[in-house]
Structure formats: structure tokens, C-alpha cells
Structure 1
Amino acid sequence: MISRLRASFSSILSTEQGRTRLATTFYSTLFAEHPEFRSLFPAALDQQKHRLFQALEFVIDNLEDQDRVLGFLAQLGRDHRKYGVEGRHYSASARALLVAVQDSFIRAIWTPSLTTAWSELIELLLHTMADAADNDDLPAAWGATVVGHQRLLDDLAVVRLEADSPIPYAAGQYLSVQIPQRPRLWRYLSAAIPTNPYGQIEFHVRRVSGGWVSPAIVNETQVGDRWLLSSPLGGLEVDRAGGRDVLMIGSGTGIAPLRAQVMDMAMKAENPRVHLFVGGKYPCDLYDIETLWQLSLSNPWLTVVPVSEENENPWWHAVPVPDEPPGLHRRLQGRLGQVVARFGSWADRQIQISGSPAMIKTTVYALQSGGTPPELIRHDPLV
């Protein structure tokens, strides 16, 4: 069944028309049959369509790892409560999703066995999400107040908040946020510090050209703003029982979930060795390198390796490039994935990658080309 699902989904992936048609058909069918559902979603569905496809792609790619898939779907079901989605809404969505998949596929080779395979998969998806939504006793969302907004680069800001009550997320997870400047538009952001009993949380946000939410966070956020934060998601974590050391690779604000984990590990007595590669186009893109150096100086199990594609900052950011403290790894030059792959296959490590989709894709390719077993590599599907 898995091979049939993957082959059919690959045929949808192979064309832009197929990718666009799947999400468009799903929402148009769902709203035609259940017009009352439309009010649960934002007016612009571009991000919703993109997330739907990402979620399906993650599930299809990881069908052999049932625990990982079920955990991801349960998180997604709890997260969707922020829209007012309940368990009953999922059963009503099953037919729309099957119609969307079939409509996006090459009709001439759609078979009854594919109908069975996709029907069973959709039943698993929606039942798991519905069960998680109906049986979670945590709030659907937490209120939080902005207590700090620091512009580190022209297009990058660090935002610090205090939630009304502690949010039970694990270091390495991400949360969905809604800001007052963009009501009803939710975006996923990774927490850059571990959870604490005071409800404090920190996000690193880079302005995305043409984006709806990130420019408002970077340019318009003010101390005192009230945000909403939804249920934590994600599976980046260090397996302390497995005995393997750790390789972490982060680019830009993708360092946030890795940073949170090493901060959390620094509060423990014993840890596996961690090699943390931090990358960016220019040295200034390594905006938090001095914090990571300080962590490395006080925690001998942590090695921080800075990497930049260019050796000097651009003319519009005329700030001296900091030198690494004595004894720490010097900054390397090159594309992040290729630099990491030069060190070997890392086949003895548990590996985490965090950054833009393009960065993750090229880094995974570089590692696998260098002999890294793909089952050792972890990255989150939605951030």
C-alpha cells in the first residue's frame, strides 16, 4: 500500500498544476458541501493550501515510522483548535480530501486499489487529528504580551513575550502565533528559549519579502502588543537514551529551535557531544553567534562552527566581523550543507536541520551524497 500511495503522490508532485489543484479542489469541495466551515478559515487561503500540501508530503514520506506520523497528526489536530475546528469537522472533510487527490491525479490510471489505499490513509489522518482535538485538556491558545522587541538587523528582530500562563512546549518545538496587526492570520515560529514557569518565550523573526505577517512583526511590533499562541508542534529533540552524539545544522533564524535545545541541555549534568553548525550568507547573518560562543565556553560538550558563504559583511551592514574567542572553532566559508558534508558522513550522529525549505533540501542532499543514512536526519515539516 505504501508504494502505491507514494507513486500516486509523486505523480501529483511532478507538476505544478497537480500541486495547486489538490489544495484548491479540497477547499472548494469542502466549502461547497459545508459552507458553514468557511468562517473557520482566514480570507486568504494561500498559506492554508501550502500547509495542507506540506502535511501530506510529510505523512507520505514517513509512512514506515508510524509513531512519528501519528505524533505529528495529533499535534496538528490540537493545533487546529485555534480555528475553532473540532473532531466533528474532520469526518466531514474525508470525502473532500479523497476527491481532491483523485481529481489531481491522472484519471486514466486511477484504480480501485488506489481508492482503497487513499481512503484508508485519509481515515487514519482525520481520525487521529479528530481524536487529539477532542481529548486535549490544554487551552486552544494562550494570550501573551510583548515585553521586548529588538531589531538586530534591518530585516530581523528578536521578540520576547510573557504568556498569561506557562506554555508546556519542549525545547525544539514551534508554535502558531497570531499578532494584532494581522488578525486571523496564523504563522509558525520556533521558540528560541526553553519553556519556564514564568511563561517567558522568545522568537527570532526574519522579514520575508512579500509576506503578510513577518514584515509586521519586524517593522510594527511594539511592547505591550497582545499575541495569541497556539499548541506546540514539532519533533526536534535529542534522544538522550540512544547513546549517539548530535549534529545540529541551522541557518538564519533556523537556529532558534537548536538554540533552545542546547540551552536546555546546559541545565543538565550530563550530555552527549553536540556539533552545532551555524550558517548564513554573510557573517552578519550569524546574528546570535556570540550567545552560542558563550554557551560553548561554559559547556565543553558543545562545539559551535560558524559558516558564511561570503567572508565579509555587505556594504549596507558596515559592522566589523567579530573574532571567535580563543580556543573556539574559526569561521568557515562556503555553502552550509557542503561545508558540513566535508567533515564526513556523520553516520554515528543523530542529526537535526533547521532553516528555510531550500536550505533544508540542499543540506539533506549534500549529507546523503556524502554517505549520511537518511533515517538519521530530522527536520520539521511546517517551519
Structure 2
Amino acid sequence: MDSRTVALVRTTFKAVAAEEGGREALARTFYAILFTDYPQIRDFFPAAMDAQRDRLVQAITYALDKLDEPEKLQPFLAQLGRDHRKYGVRPEHYIAVGYSMKKALRQYTGTELWTDEVEQAWDGGLEVIANTMIGAAAKETTPSAWRGVVVERREVLRNLAVVRVQLDQPMQYAAGQYLSVQIPSRPRMWRYLSPAVPPNASGEVEFHVRSVSGGWVSPAIVTNTAVGDQWLLGSPLGGLGLPRNTKRAMLMVACGTGLAPLRAQLMAMAQRRTNPKVHLFVGGHHPCDLYDLETLSQLAMANKWLTVTPITESDENPWWYEGPTDPERDLPGLEPRLTGQVGKVVANYTLWTDRDVQIAGPPSMVQTSKFRLMAAGTPADHIRHDPLF
């Protein structure tokens, strides 16, 4: 796409997004038009649409930000196209989505801003998006979705569980990627989870899930998952992972269950002969939130290239926690626990200008940590994280 087309598309979207509540209103209008004009498509979506609307806005925002960076946009769209096979999406559905999006935008921008040139620009942008997704889906030979059976559910904290799922066939994903997951009690409510282990021939996947207050899916996973439950898993997504030819030392920053994709990478690296030096900072609000230090201790003891530093915002555990006060105290191979906000502690720890940086955790933590590192001199193109959906 040329610069003029990109500018017109971005300007139109920003005109809507600049209004208070504009993005959410656009998403609501888009789905209202889509379901009215193409009622058969409604069956692809869950009854509760709040999370779906948020995800749509976030995906559009990310795609528009990358319109002039095809080397980043095309892999992202290709992954989405492969993943959307799980819905049974066909090429004609992309036409319906594109038409509904243009109709919703035209309703919000008005005739003064929505000119013939703007419409042509959006036609071009939506065509790029649709063709990339359709093409990637058509070339894919893997299953549209994997079936899995829960073989273990272990409660780590009252709001956090480790779930192991045995797939019906092995899945090839890169350690660090994430998957969309559907559980039986929440049909059509797909949620993203990161495997905490690298891919393996036995087809076993481990997930670390924290219950999100007010969420539909994560509380159900943490409290109601039982051995024998049948799960569906979509195609792997995301761009985290260790480049095989890199010699640059790594900085990994995790908070909460954001540890999972970084842990999977460390486990994969432990199977290699040589690795760059890695410094992992793993954070949480309370000491008990550092739920997987025993595994990290074992990895650090067995691999001298790995340094692990725990961080908590508070030195005290919540009133309901009944385990050890300082989980890291008796574990070898770990650096002394630090206190403070994760991003601030990491940015002030030392200069990271020569590191390949990966950040995983809640979106607000990822953004804050990224900005602090950049302010301290770390180049933006050294920092990687998944889209903040």
C-alpha cells in the first residue's frame, strides 16, 4: 500500500477513535450491521460480545499501526487467517466483514470525511487484510483445531491453576507462542493462553491460568476445570521466541502468568548446546505470586547462562495466603528478591542497550516496562512483545 492510502485509512480511523467512546461505539455498530445484514454469521460468535468487541478494536488498531510495515503485518495476518479456520470461516465471510466495517465507518465519519478516495483507500486496505488471511488459510495443512483432554488440574493459588492438556495429535508451535482455547462450559468464547512448555512429541501442553475478576473464561478454567474435560485449541499465534542465529544476550521480563511463554523458551533453550546469556526478571504483586520459582531455580542451577531475579511490589502476602512467607528463600540459583514495580526495577537495574528484550504479562505492565526501558536507552527495535489483546 502506498503512503497516501495508508494515511487516509489511519486518518479515518483516528477521527472515530478520537471521540470519547468512539472505538467501542464503532465496534458495536459494526457488529450490529454485520448481524443484521448477514444473520447467518451470528452463529460464529458467543452470546456475550464484550470481549469480542474489545478484541476487534485492538486487532484493527494493531493492523493499522503496521500498514506501512508489511514485514510485521503480513505474518500477523497470516497467523490470524490460519487461526480463523477453527470458526469455519470462508472467503465470502471476509467480504461481509469488509462491507460492514465500511458501512460502520461511513456512519460515524459522515459525508465530509468519507469521500470516494477514502472509500477506495479502505477497499485497498481491507483487500490486503482479507487476501493475506485467506491465502494463509488456504495453504495450511495442519488441523483447523486440535482436540485435547484435560489430564491434570493443579491449584497453585486460589486464583491460579496449572492445567495440562493431552492433544489428539502433536502441535508444532514455537516456544513462546500462544494459542486460542475453547472450554466446554464457554462455547464460542475463545481465549488466548500461552503454553508453559515447548512443543513435544507426546502432544502434551501445559497452561498457567489466573482468574481475571469479571472474566467469563479464566474463572471457569481455574475453578471448574476437571480431568477429562474436552478442550479445543486453535493454531499457534505470536512472534516471541529465540532467533536461532542471534548472539545477543537476552533480557526477559515477566509478570504473573506472563511467565509461561518465557518459561517455555527457557526450557527449549536448555535442550540446546549453546545459548546467549539470559537474565529473567519475574514479578508479581506479592511473594506468593512468584508461583513457579522452583522450576526457575532448577533451570538456573542447570544452566549457567541463566540468571533469575524475583521482584514483588509488596513484601507481604495477602491475608488469605497460607503458604511459605518467602517462596524464594530456600531455593538455590536465584538472585535475592527485589521490591518495586517490575518495569521500574528492571530499567534501573543496569543498562540494557545491548540486549534482545522480551516482555510478557498484563498489557499495562508490558507498556509501562517497554516505555521505561526505552527511556533508559534500550532501542525500540530490540524490544519484543505480543500484540496487547
Fold agreement, TM-score > 0.5: yes
Say if 1:349 and 1:84 are closer, same or farther in 2 by CA, change over 3 A.
Answer: same
1:180-195 residue pairs with structure 2 within 5 A?
180-195=184-199
Tell me what 2:234 maps to: 230
Tell me what 1:77 maps to: 81
Give the AA of the match of 2:170.
P
Give the drift of 1:107. 5.7
Tell me what 1:50 maps to: 54
* 1:260 counterpart (257, 260, 264): 264
Give the AA of the match of 1:351.
V
Say if 1:293 and 1:8 are closer, same or farther in 2 by CA, change over 3 A.
Answer: farther
Give the AA of the match of 1:219.
T
Tell me what 1:240 maps to: 244
User: When the two structures are superposed, what TM-score results if normalisation uses the length of structure 2?
Assistant: 0.93
Give the drift of 1:39. 1.5
Tell me what 2:312 maps to: 308
User: When the two structures are superposed, what TM-score results if normalisation uses the length of structure 1?
Assistant: 0.94
Tell me what 1:346 maps to: 352
Give the drift of 1:48. 1.7
Counterpart CA distance in 2 for 1:376 and 1:324 is 34
User: 1:91·1:127 contact (CA, 8 Å) conserved in 2?
Assistant: no
* 2:326 counterpart (312, 316, 321): 321
Give the AA of the match of 2:79.
Q
Give the match's secondary structure for 2:368.
helix
* 1:296 counterpart (286, 294, 300): 300
User: 2:363·2:388 contact (CA, 8 Å) conserved in 1?
Assistant: no
| Deviation string, structure 1 residues 75-108 (Cα, Å, up to 9, x no partner) | 1111111111122311232221222334344764
The sequence identity of aligned pairs, in percent, is 51
User: 1:344·1:370 contact (CA, 8 Å) conserved in 2?
Assistant: no
* 2:378 counterpart (360, 366, 372): 372
1:1-383 residue pairs with structure 2 within 5 A?
1=3, 2-105=6-109, 108-319=112-323, 320-322=325-327, 323=329, 325-326=331-332, 328-381=334-387
Give the AA of the match of 2:326.
V
**Between 310-319 and 3-12, the greater mean CA deviation after superposition:** 3-12
Give the match's secondary structure for 1:342.
helix
Give the AA of the match of 1:169.
Y
Give the drift of 1:326. 4.8
Say if 1:168 and 1:11 are closer, same or farther in 2 by CA, change over 3 A.
Answer: same
Say if 1:129 and 1:332 are closer, same or farther in 2 by CA, change over 3 A.
Answer: same
User: 1:79·1:230 contact (CA, 8 Å) conserved in 2?
Assistant: yes
Say if 1:133 and 1:115 are closer, same or farther in 2 by CA, change over 3 A.
Answer: same
**Between 357-366 and 298-307, the greater mean CA deviation after superposition:** 357-366
User: 2:298·2:333 contact (CA, 8 Å) conserved in 1?
Assistant: no
Say if 1:130 and 1:267 are closer, same or farther in 2 by CA, change over 3 A.
Answer: same
Give the match's secondary structure for 1:253.
helix
Give the match's secondary structure for 1:198.
coil
Give the match's secondary structure for 2:21.
helix
Counterpart CA distance in 2 for 1:13 and 1:359 is 23
Give the drift of 1:275. 1.2
Give the AA of the match of 1:316.
W
Counterpart CA distance in 2 for 1:35 and 1:260 is 41
**Between 149-158 and 310-319, the greater mean CA deviation after superposition:** 310-319
Say if 1:168 and 1:16 are closer, same or farther in 2 by CA, change over 3 A.
Answer: farther
User: 1:97·1:122 contact (CA, 8 Å) conserved in 2?
Assistant: no
Give the drift of 1:382. 5.2
| Deviation string, structure 1 residues 91-130 (Cα, Å, up to 9, x no partner) | 2322212223343447644444433333221111111111
Give the match's secondary structure for 2:146.
strand
User: 1:282·1:310 contact (CA, 8 Å) conserved in 2?
Assistant: yes
Say if 1:36 and 1:94 are closer, same or farther in 2 by CA, change over 3 A.
Answer: same
Counterpart CA distance in 2 for 1:247 and 1:69 is 25
Counterpart CA distance in 1 for 2:388 and 2:87 is 17
Give the AA of the match of 2:376.
G
Q: Unmatched 5+ residue regions in structure 2?
A: none
User: 2:148·2:230 contact (CA, 8 Å) conserved in 1?
Assistant: yes
- RMSD across aligned positions (CA): 1.9
Counterpart CA distance in 1 for 2:365 and 2:142 is 34
Say if 1:130 and 1:268 are closer, same or farther in 2 by CA, change over 3 A.
Answer: same
